[in-house]
């Protein structure tokens, strides 16, 4: 059979279900990764499964999100993560070693394998030819225990690349172009496969920028072939032995093809407040906009070549605005320190930030009020930067550096006219390899000697009751289209409560309605079910399972939406919240916050696969609904969530 790359990797890993487009398949997972903000819950859930040692080929726990801090919470979490990793066979990447996706690509990503991670940008691994997928922490815990990971067998979209990038145009501009084609909604259940003669001209770190931000389209993941460039990268990382060739067979089929001519691309930007809001940088320049802040880094654009490019552009200039740079990993930071580029950056007045997520997750370096911030990361959701009215634009390192010099939105191609030549930075033939910040776990024999550290911030994962026969309750909130997990469960200054669900739950929907948690709690006490009504693409963005776990803790029993994004949908199921959809989207308009809704016999009907209706008791209306749940997912919801289900089914 003639196969594309996605099919090749998936077919070699499917352990359950039929590989038919749209149906659920379970796949074997070779590698897992977690980061600290989602990791504590993932490991608490793993511990609850009572499996002594991970069963994957490789599991790595990274600390990169909650690093800067006031108070004891983050440091306590780090201690928990380090000890739990040592005990259960997991490698531990210490704080300071870098952002999980950057470090994983450098040191562990392996073509032809499967990786899931409790972070939506795990897709970065596609740059090295992995099927790498973001998932909720509980799914990662199950995979660490040797369980399958379930996805919808995908439609595969081929992104056919021709030509070569012109100077001043970067990999970021490629993915922004893809976002212009695909937008941020309507791509659930698809995977992107890059192909065509243009692929060979992109290095692995450039490919990883593209697969990283593919997450913003809502596809399950994106993958590049594994070719001579991949071999070159792995060799430079001292891992040539991990290389295999991976290419689509001649005549392989795809569900859709998107053509992108790299030579025709121009510098692009994603405008506030969505990564899919694309405009040409030259048009924004024409508006004469002042830039208040530039932030360079994040898992999208913080590779060695990215930072060297910026350093060369800034060399000999003093920045005209506030500029922060966060190198993606210790490897990158040490290399630019060793060759003098860091010194050039410091001389230019840039503020050197830690090798961590930092500004991207909004836990420091927030812009000024209404400030225009140009950032090289992947998300510009409203308020995510920590400043509610900031205007965040997502751009390439080249465009960010141009603004750093001029203090205005500037097409980087204009720098030539200012005497700044395009710096052609090559990927090094040898990276600086030093894994001393990655701790190995102790042997199985020694594991009993390790005591897992639990600070006062670490609570037990909450448990849910089995699903009630009927759902009857109040619409506690009605939200619009494209509500992100940053709206549902804000990060930034609230991040340090990720391990303390009782506390963190008091911030659910904080950016939209601060009364939400108290209203939910009052209903819960009275035995009234809480119901969320949402528009299109509900739960976009991150993989944080807290966006399902905390609403569950507050007594939310159902989300009624026009559509729900993949990872959030899986998280709702994992925490026993029923996701159902309007058969007729116009019915959304007829429901208001405060309405009393009933889904009679919900459990019985869903078990049988029958037709389901929501009755609006307040308005005397009845709406036809649909659901898309596999038999496995139904069982999980009936049990009250994955933890209860896993324990029940042994």
Hey, which residues are catalytic here?
64-65, 119, 379, 542, 544
DSSP symbols for 206-223: HHHHHHHHHGGGT-SEEE
Interface residue with ligand SF4 among 8, 78, 104, 121 (CB under 6 A) is 121
Strands 322-325 and 190-195: unpaired
Positions in 355-384 near ligand MIC (CB under 6 A) = 361, 379
For residue 298, the partner it binds in ligand MIC, ligand SF4, none, with Cβ less than 5 to 8 A by kind, is ligand SF4
Which among 114, 111, 109 is positioned nearest to 27, based on CA atoms?
Answer: 114
**Alpha-carbon dihedral 32, 35, 40, 43, rounded to 10 degrees:** 10
Does residue number 357 form part of the binding site for ligand SF4 (CB under 6 A)? yes
Number of residues that bind ligand MIC (CB under 6 A): 14
φ, ψ of residue 418 to 5 degrees: the values are -100, 15
Distance of alpha carbon 563 from alpha carbon 582, whole angstroms: 8
Distance of alpha carbon 323 from alpha carbon 326, whole angstroms: 10
Nearer to ligand MIC, 9 or 135 (CB): 135
Nearer to ligand SF4, 135 or 299 (CB): 299
Positions in 83-102 near ligand MIC (CB under 6 A) = none
Q: How far is the CB of 377 from ligand SF4 (least distance, A)?
A: 5
Interface residue with ligand MIC among 218, 297, 371, 541 (CB under 6 A) is 541
Q: How far is the CB of 42 from ligand SF4 (least distance, A)?
A: 15
Burial of 615 (0-12, 13-18, 19+ CB in 10 A): middle
Q: How far is the CB of 642 from ligand MIC (least distance, A)?
A: 18
Interface residue with ligand MIC among 34, 38, 45, 348 (CB under 6 A) is 38
Angle at 397 between CA 174 and CA 540, to 5 degrees: 60
Q: Contact at 8 Å (CB) between 344 and 337?
A: no
CA distances from 635 to 145, 450, 573, 575, 647 (A): 20, 36, 10, 12, 13
For residue 541, the partner it binds in ligand MIC, ligand SF4, none, with Cβ less than 5 to 8 A by kind, is ligand MIC
Cα radius of gyration (the chain): 24
Does residue number 229 form part of the binding site for ligand MIC (CB under 6 A)? no
Q: 5: which residues sit within 8 A by CB, 6+ positions away? A: 129, 193, 223, 225, 246, 247, 248
Q: How far is the CB of 452 from ligand SF4 (least distance, A)?
A: 25
Which among 343, 394, 261, 331 is positioned nearest to 105, based on CA atoms?
Answer: 331
Q: How far is the CB of 446 from ligand SF4 (least distance, A)?
A: 32
* Interface stretch with ligand SF4, choices 353-361, 529-537, 571-579, 586-594 (CB under 6 A): 353-361
Distance of alpha carbon 395 from alpha carbon 376, whole angstroms: 5
Q: How far is the CB of 34 from ligand MIC (least distance, A)?
A: 10
Written as six digits, the tokens of 322 are: 């506030």
Interface residue with ligand SF4 among 54, 99, 549, 556 (CB under 6 A) is 99
* Interface stretch with ligand MIC, choices 87-95, 197-205, 398-406, 538-546 (CB under 6 A): 538-546
Does residue number 571 form part of the binding site for ligand MIC (CB under 6 A)? no
Distance of alpha carbon 547 from alpha carbon 505, whole angstroms: 9
Does residue number 544 form part of the binding site for ligand SF4 (CB under 6 A)? no
Count of residues in the chain: 650
Nearer to ligand MIC, 168 or 381 (CB): 381
Distance of alpha carbon 222 from alpha carbon 253, whole angstroms: 16
Interface residue with ligand SF4 among 45, 184, 298, 366 (CB under 6 A) is 298
Does residue number 114 form part of the binding site for ligand SF4 (CB under 6 A)? no
For residue 544, the partner it binds in ligand SF4, ligand MIC, none, with Cβ less than 5 to 8 A by kind, is ligand MIC
Does residue number 329 form part of the binding site for ligand SF4 (CB under 6 A)? no
Q: Contact at 8 Å (CB) between 134 and 543?
A: yes
Q: How far is the CB of 134 from ligand MIC (least distance, A)?
A: 6
Does residue number 121 form part of the binding site for ligand MIC (CB under 6 A)? yes
Does residue number 329 form part of the binding site for ligand MIC (CB under 6 A)? no
Interface residue with ligand MIC among 6, 27, 37, 606 (CB under 6 A) is 37
Q: How far is CA 130 from the centre of its chain?
A: 16
Q: 591: which residues sit within 8 A by CB, 6+ positions away? A: 475, 478, 533, 560, 597, 616, 619, 623
Does residue number 34 form part of the binding site for ligand MIC (CB under 6 A)? no
Nearer to ligand SF4, 99 or 556 (CB): 99
Nearer to ligand MIC, 381 or 623 (CB): 381
Nearer to ligand MIC, 158 or 379 (CB): 379
Does residue number 119 form part of the binding site for ligand SF4 (CB under 6 A)? yes
Beginning with the edge strand found earlier in the chain, give each strand of the sheet holding 351-352 in spatial order: 278-280, 268-270, 391-394, 372-375, 293-296, 322-325, 351-352
Interface residue with ligand MIC among 8, 104, 544, 603 (CB under 6 A) is 544
Interface residue with ligand SF4 among 171, 176, 246, 299 (CB under 6 A) is 299
Nearer to ligand MIC, 17 or 275 (CB): 275
3-class DSSP assignment, residue 193: strand
For residue 410, the partner it binds in ligand MIC, ligand SF4, none, with Cβ less than 5 to 8 A by kind, is none
Upstream peptide bond of 480 is cis (omega within 30 degrees of 0)? no
Listed as own residue / partner, the contacts of 621-626 with beta carbons closer than 8 Å and 24 or more positions apart are 621/587, 621/590, 623/582, 623/583, 623/584, 623/587, 623/590, 623/591, 624/583, 624/584, 624/587, 625/560, 625/580, 625/581, 625/582, 625/583, 625/599, 626/580, 626/581, 626/582, 626/583
Query: What element of type H or E holds 549?
Result: helix 546-553
DSSP symbols for 154-173: PEEEEEEEES-PPTT--HHH
Does residue number 491 form part of the binding site for ligand MIC (CB under 6 A)? yes
Positions in 359-378 near ligand SF4 (CB under 6 A) = 360-361, 377-378
Positions in 211-270 near ligand SF4 (CB under 6 A) = none
For residue 99, the partner it binds in ligand MIC, ligand SF4, none, with Cβ less than 5 to 8 A by kind, is ligand SF4
Nearer to ligand MIC, 204 or 361 (CB): 361
CB atoms within 10 A of CB 453: 15
Residue ranges binding ligand MIC (CB under 6 A): 37-38, 65, 119-121, 134, 361, 379, 491, 541-544
Residue ranges binding ligand SF4 (CB under 6 A): 65, 99, 119, 121, 298-299, 357, 360-361, 377-378
């Amino acid at each position: 059979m003639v196969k594309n790359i996605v099919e090749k990797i998936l077919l070699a890993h499917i352990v359950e279900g039929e590989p038919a487009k749209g149906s659920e398949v379970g796949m074997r997972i070779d590698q897992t990764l977690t980061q600290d903000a989602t990791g504590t819950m993932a490991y608490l859930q793993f511990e609850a499964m009572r499996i002594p040692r991970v069963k994957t080929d490789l599991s790595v726990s990274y600390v990169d999100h909650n690093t800067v801090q006031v108070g004891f919470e983050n440091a306590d979490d780090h201690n928990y993560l380090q000890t739990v990793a040592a005990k259960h066979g997991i490698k531990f990447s210490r704080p300071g070693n870098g952002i999980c996706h950057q470090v994983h690509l450098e040191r562990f990503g392996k073509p032809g394998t499967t990786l899931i991670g409790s972070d939506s940008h795990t897709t970065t691994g596609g740059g090295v030819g992995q099927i790498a997928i973001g998932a909720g922490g509980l799914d990662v815990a199950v995979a660490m225990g040797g369980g399958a990971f379930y996805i919808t067998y995908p439609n595969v979209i081929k992104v056919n690349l021709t030509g070569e990038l012109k100077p001043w145009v970067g990999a970021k501009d490629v993915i922004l172009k893809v976002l212009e084609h695909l937008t941020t909604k309507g791509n659930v259940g698809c995977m992107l496969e890059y192909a065509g003669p243009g692929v060979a001209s992109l290095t692995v770190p450039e490919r990883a920028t593209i697969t990283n931000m593919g997450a913003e389209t809502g596809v399950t993941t994106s993958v590049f072939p594994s070719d001579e460039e991949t071999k070159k990268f792995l060799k430079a990382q001292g891992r040539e032995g991990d290389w295999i060739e991976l290419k689509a067979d001649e005549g392989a089929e795809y569900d859709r093809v998107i053509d992108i001519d790299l030579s025709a691309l121009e510098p692009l930007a994603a405008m506030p407040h969505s990564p899919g809001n694309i405009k040409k940088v030259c048009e924004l320049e024409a508006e004469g906009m002042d830039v208040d802040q530039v932030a360079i880094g994040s898992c999208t654009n913080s590779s060695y070549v990215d930072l060297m490019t910026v350093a060369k552009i800034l060399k000999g200039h003093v920045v005209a605005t506030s500029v922060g740079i966060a190198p993606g990993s210790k490897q990158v930071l040490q290399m630019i320190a060793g060759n003098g580029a860091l010194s050039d950056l410091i001389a230019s007045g840039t503020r050197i930030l830690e090798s961590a997520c930092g500004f991207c997750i909004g836990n420091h370096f927030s812009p000024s009020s209404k400030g225009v911030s140009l950032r090289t990361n992947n998300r510009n959701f409203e308020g995510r930067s920590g400043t509610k009215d900031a205007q965040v634009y997502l751009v390439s390192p080249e465009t960010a550096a141009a603004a750093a010099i001029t203090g205005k939105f500037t097409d980087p191609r204009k720098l030539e006219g200012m005497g700044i030549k395009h710096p052609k930075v090559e990927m090094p033939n040898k990276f600086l390899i030093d894994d001393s910040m990655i701790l190995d776990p102790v042997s199985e024999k020694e594991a009993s000697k390790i005591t897992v550290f639990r600070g006062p911030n670490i609570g037990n994962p909450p448990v849910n009751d089995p699903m009630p026969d009927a759902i009857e309750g109040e619409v506690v909130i009605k939200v619009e289209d494209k509500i992100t997990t940053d709206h549902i469960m804000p990060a930034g200054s609230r991040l340090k409560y990720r391990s303390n669900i009782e506390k963190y739950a008091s911030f659910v929907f904080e950016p939209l309605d601060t009364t939400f948690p108290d209203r939910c709690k009052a209903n819960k006490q009275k035995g009234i079910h809480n119901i969320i009504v949402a528009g299109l693409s509900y739960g976009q963005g991150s993989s944080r399972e807290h966006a399902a776990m905390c609403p569950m803790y507050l007594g939310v029993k159902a989300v009624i939406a026009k559509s729900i994004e993949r990872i959030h949908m899986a998280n709702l199921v994992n925490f026993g919240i029923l996701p159902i959809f309007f058969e007729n989207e116009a019915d959304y308009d007829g429901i208001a916050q405060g309405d009393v809704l009933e889904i009679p016999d919900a459990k019985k009907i869903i078990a049988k696969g029958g037709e389901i209706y929501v009755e609006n008791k307040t308005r005397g209306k009845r709406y036809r609904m649909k659901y898309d749940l596999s038999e496995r997912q139904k069982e999980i919801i009936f049990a009250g969530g994955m933890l209860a289900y896993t324990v029940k089914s042994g």
